Chain A
Amino acid sequence: MKGLADYFFSKGSFWDTIGMFYQSAVFIYGTTLLMAYALLAIMSLISIRRYMKKNASIDYNIIVESPLAPGISVIAPAYNEGITIISNVRSLLTFNYPKFEVIIINDGSTDDTLEKLVTEFELVHVDYAFREKLNSEPIKRIFKSTNRAYDKLIVVDKVNGKSKADASNAGINISSYEYFLCTDVDCILDKDTLIKLIKPFMDEETTKIKEVGEPCVECGYVHIQEDNRKVIATGATLRMVNSCEVDEGLMIRVRPPQRLLPRFQEMEYIRAFVLGKMGWDLINAVPNVSGGLGMFDKEIAVKAGGYDSKSFGEDMDLITRMCCFMKDNKRKYSVKYVPVTLCWTEGPTTLKVFGRQRSRWGRGIAQIMSIHRKVIFNPRYGRLGLIVFPYNFLFELLAPMIEFTGILFYIYLILTRQINWPFAIILVIFVYTYSVMITTLALLWDQITFKYYKTWGETIGLCLMAFIEPFIYHPLIVFFAIKGYFNFITGRQHTWGNMQRQGFGMQKKKSTANAG
């Protein structure tokens, strides 16, 4: 500590001390953050290797032939997806799984999404009785196919609720199985998605119980409740579909995006999923199951209140509430991640759409931290209160702000000529090399599970993005996150941005051209 102390007291003035204090605080904060990343990298490596070892000799097909396979409802909201709806629904119907239904929620589309579905799948309107367990805008009609080949399909026509949460809730109300998979209709899913995501649910014992209280006066039984660690949700890695070859909703060839913005996102997603989620998975502290792909235990999700249509981060909000529900009822739970990519989604290609998405995310996390503030540092909520929330608060929510003020401080130092250039440069190099290392490690771990990219050029090409990320991509993220916080504080109305789809129709042509 000699160095630090020297540094502190060598300069005299009060403001200098404050400045130094700030600088040291930021340094300690930064170092802790970087340490946390290093720890996550190690944890995720362990967790990925464990997954690979455990699953090497597992025959996943066994569930396909088994009459004991649990049922899964696939819920996919669609809003103005007329261009791609048919092929995407077709691909959802071809999952490798024996017992599932596909619920497409037409969320008040203004184009021909519904008409297309009706003609293609020979749909008729049916009288469908269901209980409204979760709030959503009213459902107008429900359709089923007269062709038995499509008897897994249910199409729900509903009044637009301006959010994915609202549409998903309607889907959950209709669903009849005990698990549900939430996705977007335009996501490209692997055909083994259901098998891979249901597996963690089936790896926990389900027969342990504990007794609660005295025998009940009414029924004479002692009340009992499940005492096993219940898996309440599972998720998997997402990637960008932008430059992949897709044919009628089927992934033909995976390729990292060629355009700069989605390419950065691919790298960021791999880092967030492979390094982040898998790392947290090891200590059972997964903070979130992404909205693009996640499987949930319906009972718990419904009891926790389903999706909140007012939330800007409805996916994380749901997981948080499900975890809180389990903790409030003194039950053990876990949220699991599998390190394989099962879902490809379209990343925004223009700065405008990207900015809107990220501001929304920023606003979402601020909102969650404020709604669930009772959780943070609350030992009653176990890992959720002592690990997940503090981490997210300190290093997800505060990071952009601290970075932003840090930059302002630096500018101030430069302007007042107080800066110690050699030290400043060393610090910048430190942060830079470290961030490159973390990203590169994430990409390396990703290679362990599966060789997604065909050529080494593609792989290295993506790795090299780590070198320019801190200059181009990172500032954007910080800027949009802060914009999101600003919106949160000022409570500005946010119009639910329906992402402009490029439409896979174009890619389809491309791929057939390649094939021919």
Chain B
Amino acid sequence: MANILVIEDDDIMLKAIRNILGKDGYNLITAKDGKEAFEKLDGGEYDVVVTDLMMPYANGLEVVSRLRSDETKRNVGIIVISSVGNEETITEAFRLGADDYLKKPIMAGELLIRIRKLLANKNSKSQLVTKKK
């Protein structure tokens, strides 16, 4: 089953996302701030990372940037969930390499679909790679 890391500093949202994603049976790991997020990122492998932007210790953009600059984690799908709605921040997130940006309030169904899509893409890509080999 796919491993998903959810990084979110708001307790309510963290629990809610866990419940919603849990329905689809993913293997969920959570982090409630930037520091914990980095620890968990270093200590495990993930297929998708769902991250908030404004958190203690480190902001979500750092998480995105770190994932994208790491060879081994380049293929991890990244979804940013944030209440920040200004254009600059959103384009910044995409430029750094986020795959999706969901603005709060989010639709639970949308989050699920996006995760499924990212996972499907990833699988087809890795299949391509293996075929080429």
Residues of chain A whose beta carbon lies under 8 Å from any beta carbon of chain B: 61, 64-67, 69, 90-91, 93-96, 98-99, 147-151, 191, 248, 250
Contact = CB atoms under 8 A, between A and B. Distances in A.
Contacts of B66: 149
Nearest to B69: A147
Interface stretch (B16-24, B89-97, B118-126): B89-97
Contact of B89 (A96, A98, A150, A248): A98
A148 B84 contact: no
7 contacts: A61-B83, A67-B87, A94-B59, A95-B54, A148-B65, A148-B96, A250-B56
A151 B61 CA distance: 10
A60 B26 CA distance: 34
B86 A148 contact: no
B96 A91 contact: no
Contacts of B35: 248
B83 A93 contact: no
A149 B64 contact: yes
A24 B35 CA distance: 63
Given A148-B65, A149-B62, A151-B92, A64 B83 contact: yes
Contacts of A94: 34, 54-59
Contacts of A95: 54
A149 B96 contact: yes
Chain B interface size band reads 20 to 34
A69 B54 CA distance: 16
Interface in B8-56: 34-35, 54-56
Closest 10 A-B residue pairs measured CB to CB?
A: A149-B65, A149-B61, A149-B62, A65-B83, A67-B86, A65-B85, A96-B54, A250-B56, A98-B84, A148-B96
Which residue, B54, B65, B92, has most C-beta atoms of chain A within 10 A? B54
B56 A191 contact: yes
Nearest to A250: B56
B90 to A, nearest CB: 11
A150 B61 CA distance: 8
A239 to B, nearest CB: 19
Interface in B95-117: 95-96, 103-104
Nearest to A95: B54
Contact of B57 (A65, A66, A91, A149): A91
A99 B89 CA distance: 9
Contacts of B34: 94
Given A64-B83, A98-B84, A248-B35, A149 B59 contact: yes
B57 A64 contact: no
Nearest to B66: A149
Contacts of B58: 90, 94
Interface in B63-77: 64-66
Contact of B86 (A93, A98, A149, A151): A98
Contacts of B57: 90-91, 94, 248, 250
A119 to B, nearest CB: 15
Contacts of B65: 147-149
Nearest to A61: B83
A65 B62 CA distance: 19
Nearest to B55: A94
Contacts of B86: 66-67, 69, 98-99
B59 A64 contact: no
Contacts of A91: 56-57
A91 B55 CA distance: 10
A95 B58 CA distance: 10
Nearest to B64: A149
A477 to B, nearest CB: 36
A151 B56 CA distance: 17
Contacts of B89: 98
Nearest to A151: B92
A117 to B, nearest CB: 16
B60 to A, nearest CB: 9
A383 to B, nearest CB: 38
B81 to A, nearest CB: 12
A66 B103 CA distance: 12
B85 A67 contact: yes
Nearest to A69: B86
Contacts of A61: 83
Contacts of B88: 99
A466 B132 CA distance: 78
Contacts of B103: 65
B92 A93 contact: no
A93 B59 contact: yes
A256 B65 CA distance: 39
A455 B55 CA distance: 27
Contacts of B83: 61, 64-65
B87 A148 contact: no
Contacts of A96: 54
Contacts of A149: 59, 61-62, 64-66, 96
A148 B61 contact: yes
Contact of A66 (B62, B64, B85, B92): B85
Contacts of A250: 56-57
B54 A64 contact: yes
A231 to B, nearest CB: 23
Nearest to B103: A65
Given A67-B86, A94-B59, 7 more contacts: A64-B83, A67-B85, A69-B86, A98-B84, A98-B86, A149-B66, A250-B56
A191 B57 CA distance: 10
A452 B66 CA distance: 35
Nearest to A248: B57
A65 B85 CA distance: 5
Nearest to A68: B86
Which of B35, B59, B66, B87 is the most central at the interface, judged by chain A CB atoms within 10 Å of its CB? B59
